[in-house]
Amino acid sequence: MSFDFPLLSLIIWLPIVFGIAVFATGNDRNAQLARWISLVGSILGLLVAIPLYTNFDSATGAMQFIESHVWFERFNVNYHLGVDGISMPLILLNCFITPLVIVAGWEVIKERISQYMGAFLIMSGIVNGVFASLDAILFYVFWEASLIPMFLIIGIWGGPNRVYAAVKFFLYTLLGSLLMLIAFIYLYLISGGSFSIEDYHKLSIPLTPQILIFVAFLLAFAVKVPMWPVHTWLPDAHVEAPTGGSVVLAAILLKLGGYGFLRFSLPITPDASHYLATMMIVLSLIAIVYIGLIALMQVDMKKLIAYSSVAHMGFVTLGFFLLNAYGIEGAMVQMISHGFISGAMFLCVGVLYDRLHSRQIADYGGVVNKMPIFAAFFMLFAMANAGLPGTSGFVGEFMVIMSAMKVNFWYAFLAATTLIFGAAYTLWMYKRVIFGAVASPAVEGLKDISKREFVLLAILAISVLWIGVYPYPLTEVMHTTVDQLLAHVSNSKL
């Protein structure tokens, strides 16, 4: 169907304009104003994204809501936007998470509020831009620009070791992206002067350049996902980031990497993807098994969830490179579900941290006695993190394991160990933090969650259960696109 209104531009620029407005409120004297403007901006950002779902035509795998204008002629770069069944759910996820992050930082952030809120809004717009771009340079600009607000968020409002974490986050990601830029330039030249991603999909490329391009993309996306062995920035960044930063990092920014594989690696270099699929599967399995074991040993709650994120994202890359429909759809569901679950887990840790200013598991114990409502929510999310059937965590993992079974029994076997390890590290942490006798006078003094926190966690709980019980609305929109992608990938481009 035709849709003439520049909806995607609105979805991208509305949060950015609001972000600038929030910056303009200046210093902390106008804190309350800054908070309300950002809340209004983020909710408006979610509302304008709803037509994206209701007007989406799930019968076609082609790009929809297309906008295209010349940006700069010198290199034939266009302001070219559009979404398909892969990017649309991710945009919705991002628009959904942003208001939650704003509310999560409502009282907790006491310094430089306008800058904090503004940075999140601007980042939300930038990330929408990444998902909606159909021009490689436009994509790259948004991709890199998303580093700037996150760098500042970690560095200004983060924990004690924040500078190290912020710089590591920035440089790691920049390393990957710069090589991707060279791949784009190379593609620009062999495509005869086009930066259009859809043109790249049609391009036939010999195997050796394909492998090199694949490796350049791999570095960019593997760092973002993050895959083993380039995951080491993630625990540092997560631990030092403020709660909102961790939520956005886990729920949104990691998805950029996964999205990149689907939009670039698989369709542009399908032969290299087939050629290197085994390597990618092995790397993913290492992430699932080995990182799962590492998570078991963590004493810091945020670090534990960070490692569990790496393991869960291992499922995403595993699903992609099994190269069948179940795998890719399962991986997509896993991405969305991980967005909810990891966001919720970090919010839960944030709730505890705001009260006790400690993330150490050992400092807690017996929290259920003082915070029963919180303990119930935390229970649900912990179960979802462990992949309990009925929660969204189960759907994606189950689909990926099924598809792995089709390819090779041992892949499925190793992937399925996560059901044990995931349950072990999540529930063991839950047990040590929540159950047992009240560990200290500090825990004795804990108050249960406020209305604000209740609303946040309840919204996420509903989402987790909804996708767990009825994932059809989600899989329906991506089905055609994934089929078309697979058909495309199975054709050699040599």
Q: List interacting residues with another protein (CB under 8 A).
A: 27, 71-75, 115, 137, 140-141, 144-145, 147-148, 151-152, 155-156, 162-163, 166-167, 170-171, 174-175, 178-179, 181-182, 185-186, 188-189
Placement of tokens 């989600």 in the chain: 474
Cβ-based neighbours of 190, under 8 Å, separated by 6 or more? 203, 205, 209
Q: What is the DSSP letter of 389?
A: T
Residue 26 CA, chain-centre distance (Å), reads: 30
**Distance of closest approach, residue 87 Cβ to another protein, in angstroms:** 20
**Distance of closest approach, residue 140 Cβ to another protein, in angstroms:** 7
C-alpha gyration radius of the chain: 21
Cβ-based neighbours of 431, under 8 Å, separated by 6 or more? none
Alpha-carbon distance of 238 to 158, in angstroms, equals 9
**Distance of closest approach, residue 164 Cβ to another protein, in angstroms:** 10
Give the three-class secondary structure for 220: helix
Give bridge partners of residue 78 from the DSSP assignment.
Answer: 70
Q: Is 491 exposed, middle or buried (0-12, 13-18, 19+ CB in 10 A)?
A: exposed
Alpha-carbon distance of 341 to 343, in angstroms, equals 5
Distances (CA, A) of 175 to 112, 188, 210, 266, 269: 30, 20, 20, 21, 21
Crossing angle for the helix pair 136-145 and 162-190, nearest 10 degrees? Answer: 170
The answer to whether 333 and 474 are in contact (CB under 8 A) is: yes
**Distance of closest approach, residue 119 Cβ to another protein, in angstroms:** 11
Query: Dihedral of CA 443/293/176/396: which sign?
Result: negative
Distances (CA, A) of 251 to 132, 139, 242, 304, 366: 18, 20, 14, 16, 29
**Distance of closest approach, residue 8 Cβ to another protein, in angstroms:** 17
**Distance of closest approach, residue 471 Cβ to another protein, in angstroms:** 36
**Distance of closest approach, residue 32 Cβ to another protein, in angstroms:** 19
- For residues 2 and 208, which CB has a smaller minimum distance to another protein in the complex? 208
Q: Which two tokens stand for residue 444?
A: 């004795």
DSSP 198-253: HHHHH----HHHHHHHHHHHHHHHHHHTTPTTS-THHHHHHHHS-HHHHHHIIIII
3-state helix, strand, coil in the chain (%, to 5): 75, 5, 20
- For residues 178 and 356, which CB has a smaller minimum distance to another protein in the complex? 178
- For residues 89 and 149, which CB has a smaller minimum distance to another protein in the complex? 149
Cβ-based neighbours of 467, under 8 Å, separated by 6 or more? 333, 336, 337, 340, 392, 395, 474
- For residues 14 and 382, which CB has a smaller minimum distance to another protein in the complex? 14
The answer to whether 165 and 236 are in contact (CB under 8 A) is: yes
How many separate helices (H) and strands (E) can be counted in the chain?
Answer: 23, 2
- For residues 152 and 388, which CB has a smaller minimum distance to another protein in the complex? 152
Q: Is 72 exposed, middle or buried (0-12, 13-18, 19+ CB in 10 A)?
A: exposed
Q: What is the DSSP letter of 80?
A: E
- For residues 72 and 435, which CB has a smaller minimum distance to another protein in the complex? 72
- For residues 171 and 362, which CB has a smaller minimum distance to another protein in the complex? 171
Give bridge partners of residue 452 from the DSSP assignment.
Answer: none
